[in-house]
């Protein structure tokens, strides 16, 4: 990517010379940087592509490496990571009873640092009893309804997204390892089909940008592989934690398509498939992105 | 190649005709040759290089520079790198070929990522612009016949 960076730098210099344009060139990304959080938590941001990708990617990479130095740095210390505020908020909710049963998350799961370690890494996951692949959000809602007697949360709203961040943070540094065989296979195949389908008037599949063009710029946007190991993601553009399926929705919308709904069977299948493309990267949420 | 123009009688019947009314080829009437080129202009109205440059650099229009670098349009910031540079593109393609690529590049390059700018149907889950809501086909094309011809006119000036 050296050539790319030279190009961007030259463009920026040219604009500077022309003057009168109050627009900065996109900030350079150091795609070779390593991510260590708080000085000691090593995050795998580059890994060998899983075998099930059949060579579609030579290497899998976290979206963190495509961000500017400044954005990268915000994730390297939890005091700088704005997403951690929402983890704290979720910790309060964790211990607060809700619903007809008078239970909180802590009633059954006690300290999330123990009970939730490794959980994020294996979701979405087949649930034998329910006979379906469940995303983490679905599992949280199942818990709320059946064990707490509480209302379901909207899966893209802050109660849910913040709780997902609290659960994700207990697995930071653990490799994503979602199962795609056995009963999950059918859902995974459905997600794969969606990943490669060219939707909307722009006729774009996920793969067009995130498999064929990662590392390239579309206007000022630096395309990543669209990995989801780092969700929930705190985005500088909307100053909150964002759910992965909300991001899916935005992406499909931007192809000028009728999007799918968060929580739909299509997006649940896509979440399993995209998660599996990141098998081997560390769980990284809550991350910081632009 | 036959130039397909909207029948003048129709235009007159619609009450839209004046002596200045341009005849246009509708998206569904465009004739591509075996290699994806379009011989006949999509409108017989005069073209504007200035408007072509505007379409190429404006997000709500063609936004060609989102994916292609164009030295002649350097005053617009952040040219992308998903597609090839358009510098010298007129040396590599004829006008008919350029027109075909802008209107529907998939007729020239099977499977290309480049959207079709003069096509109205045949989409999977077509949406109402960027609302995320469903829309019934035919959709308005991404660019008008005039905008495509303005872009093509601009592209023909890009010689090394």
pLDDT digits over A159-212, tens only? 999 999 999 999 999 999 999 999 999 999 999 999 999 999 999 999 999 999
The pLDDT assigned to B143 comes to: 98
Residue B153 is given by DSSP the state H
Catalytic residues of A: 251
- Classified as helix, coil or strand, B134 is strand
When CB atoms are compared, the residue of A197, A223, A253 closest to B132 is: A253
CB A201 within 8 A of CB B115: yes
Residues 79-118 of B with CB under 8 A from A: 79-82, 106, 113, 115-116
Torsion of CA A224, A222, A261, B142, to 10 degrees: -130
Quick one: pLDDT at residue A18? 37
* CA B107/CA B128 separation, integer angstroms: 24
Task: Specify the number of domains making up chain B.
Answer: 1
Q: How confident is the model at residue B68 (pLDDT cuts 50, 70, 90)?
A: very high
Within 8 A by CB and 6+ apart from B34, the residues are none
pLDDT at A16 over 70: no
Q: What is the ipTM of this complex?
A: 0.88
Q: How far apart are CA B6 and CA B145, in angstroms?
A: 12
A269's CB contacts (< 8 A; 6+ apart) are: A133, A187, A188, A190, A191, A194
Which residue of chain B comes nearest to A1, CA vs CA? B81
DSSP state of B103: H
Residues from chain B contacting residue A255 (CB–CB below 8 Å):
127
Q: Is B15 within the bounds of a domain? A: no
Q: How far is CA A269 from the centre of its chain?
A: 15
How many C-beta atoms surround the C-beta of residue B14 within 10 A? Answer: 10
Tell me the mean pLDDT in the region A116-122. 98
Give the Cα separation of B56 and B83 in Å (integer).
14
Closest alpha carbon to A279 in A33, A51, A75: A51
Output the pLDDT for position A17. Answer: 37
Reduce the DSSP state of residue B126 to 3 states and report it. Answer: strand
**Tell me, what CATH number does B123's domain have?**
1.10.760.10
User: Would an 8 Å CB–CB cutoff place B72 in contact with chain A?
Assistant: no
Q: Is residue B17 part of a domain?
A: no
Give the pLDDT band (50/70/90) at residue A12: very low
Asked, for residue B95, whether it belongs to a domain, the answer is yes
Q: In the prediction, which pLDDT does A26 show?
A: 63
Of B65, B66, B77, the CB nearest to A15: B77
Per-residue pLDDT at B71 exceeds 80: yes
Average pLDDT of the residues in B95-115? 98
In a domain, B118, yes or no: yes
Mode of pairing for the β-strands spanning A59-61 and A240-242? unpaired
pLDDT of B7: 45
In a domain, B10, yes or no: no
Rounded mean pLDDT of chain B? Answer: 91
B136: contact with A, CB 8 A cutoff: no
Boundaries of domain holding B82: 23-155
pTM score of the predicted model: 0.90
Q: How confident is the model at residue B21 (pLDDT cuts 50, 70, 90)?
A: confident
- Tell me the mean pLDDT in the region A46-61: 98
Share of chain B above pLDDT 70, in %: 88
CA distance A275 to A259: 20
B113 belongs to a structural domain = yes
Q: Which long-range contacts (CB under 8 A, 24 or more apart) does A202-211 make?
A: A202/A254, A202/A255, A202/A256, A202/A257, A202/B115, A203/A255, A203/B106, A203/B115, A203/B116, A203/B123, A203/B124, A204/A255, A204/B113, A204/B115, A206/A251, A206/A270, A206/A274, A207/A56, A208/B113, A209/B113, A211/A56, A211/A57
Which DSSP letter does residue B115 get? P
Is the pLDDT at A1 greater than 80? The verdict is no
pLDDT band at residue B60 using 50, 70 and 90 as cut-offs: very high
Which pLDDT does position A5 carry in this prediction? 36
Query: d(Cα A78, Cα A87) in Å, to the nearest integer?
Result: 11
Q: CA-based diameter of chain B, in Å?
A: 47
pLDDT at res. B22: 82
The answer to the question of residue B3 being in a domain is no
Neighbour count for residue A147 (Cβ, 10 Å): 14
CB A184 within 8 A of CB A126: yes
Contact B113/A7, CB-based, under 8 Å?
A: no
Share of chain A above pLDDT 90, in %: 89
CB-based contact B153:B48 (threshold 8 Å): yes
Measured between beta carbons, the chain B residues lying within 8 angstroms of A252 are: 125, 132
Q: How does the average pLDDT of chain A come out, rounded?
A: 92
Query: Going by C-beta distance under 8 Å and a sequence separation of 6 or more, which residues neighbour residue A29?
Result: A65, A66, A67, A68, A69, A72, A222
In a domain, B48, yes or no: yes
Mutate which: A256, A260, A261, A266, vs B, most B CBs within 10 A: A256
- Measure in Å the smallest separation between the Cα of B17 and chain A Cα atoms: 31
Rg of chain B, C-alpha, whole Å: 16
Residue B48 pLDDT grade (very low, low, confident, very high; cuts 50, 70, 90): very high
Q: Three-state SS across chain A?
A: CHHHHHHHHHHHHHHHHHCCCCCCCCCCECCCCCEEECCCEEECCEEECCHHHCCCCCEEECHHHHCEHHHHHHCCCCCCCCHHHHHHHHHHHHCCCECCCCECHHHHHCCHHHHCCCCHHHCCEEECCCCEEECHHHHHHHHHHHHHCCCCCCCCCHHHHHHHHHHHHCCECCECCCCCCHHHHHHHHHHHHHHCCCECCCCECHHHHHCCCCCCEECCEECCCCCCCCCCEEECCCCEEECHHHHHHHHHHCCCECCCCCCCHHHHHHHHHHHHHCECEEECCCEEEC
């Amino acid at each position: 990517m050296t050539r790319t960076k030279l190009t961007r730098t030259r463009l920026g210099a040219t604009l500077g010379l022309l003057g009168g344009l109050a627009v900065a060139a996109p900030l350079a990304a150091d795609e070779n940087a390593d991510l260590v959080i708080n000085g000691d938590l090593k995050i795998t941001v580059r890994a060998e592509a899983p075998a099930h990708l059949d060579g579609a990617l030579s290497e899998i990479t976290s979206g963190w490496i495509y961000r500017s130095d400044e954005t990268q740095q915000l994730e390297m210390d939890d005091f700088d990571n704005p997403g951690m505020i929402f983890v704290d908020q979720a910790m309060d909710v964790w211990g607060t009873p809700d619903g007809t049963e008078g239970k909180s998350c802590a009633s059954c799961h006690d300290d999330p640092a123990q009970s939730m370690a490794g959980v994020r890494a294996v979701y979405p996951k087949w649930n034998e009893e329910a006979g379906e692949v469940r995303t983490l959000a679905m599992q949280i809602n199942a818990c709320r309804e059946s064990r707490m007697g509480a209302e379901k949360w909207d899966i893209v709203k802050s109660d849910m997204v913040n709780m997902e961040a609290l659960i994700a943070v207990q697995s930071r540094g653990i490799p994503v390892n979602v199962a795609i065989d056995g009963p999950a296979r059918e859902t995974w195949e459905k997600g794969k089909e969606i990943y490669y389908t060219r939707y909307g008037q722009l006729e774009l599949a996920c793969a067009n940008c995130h498999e064929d063009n990662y590392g390239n710029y579309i206007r000022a946007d630096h395309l990543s592989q669209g990995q989801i190991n780092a969700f929930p993601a705190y985005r500088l553009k909307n100053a909150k934690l964002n759910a992965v399926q909300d991001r899916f929705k935005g992406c499909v919308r931007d192809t000028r398509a009728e999007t799918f709904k968060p929580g739909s069977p299509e997006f649940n299948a896509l979440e399993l498939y995209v998660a599996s493309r990141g098998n081997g990267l560390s769980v990284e949420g809550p991350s910081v992105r632009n | 190649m036959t130039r397909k123009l909207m029948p003048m009688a129709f235009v007159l019947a619609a009450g839209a005709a004046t002596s200045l009314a341009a005849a246009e080829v509708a998206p569904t009437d465009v004739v591509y040759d075996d290699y994806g080129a379009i011989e006949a202009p999509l409108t017989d109205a005069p073209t504007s290089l200035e408007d072509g440059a505007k379409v190429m650099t404006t997000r709500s229009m063609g936004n060609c520079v989102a994916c292609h670098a164009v030295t002649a349009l350097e005053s617009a910031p952040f040219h992308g790198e998903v597609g090839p540079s358009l510098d010298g593109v007129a040396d590599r393609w004829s006008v008919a070929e350029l027109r075909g690529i802008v209107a529907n590049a998939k007729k020239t390059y099977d499977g290309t990522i480049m959207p079709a700018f003069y096509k109205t149907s045949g989409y999977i889950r077509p949406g109402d612009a960027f609302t995320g809501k469903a829309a019934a086909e035919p959709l308005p094309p991404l660019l008008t016949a005039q905008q495509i011809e303005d872009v093509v006119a601009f592209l023909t000036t890009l010689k090394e």
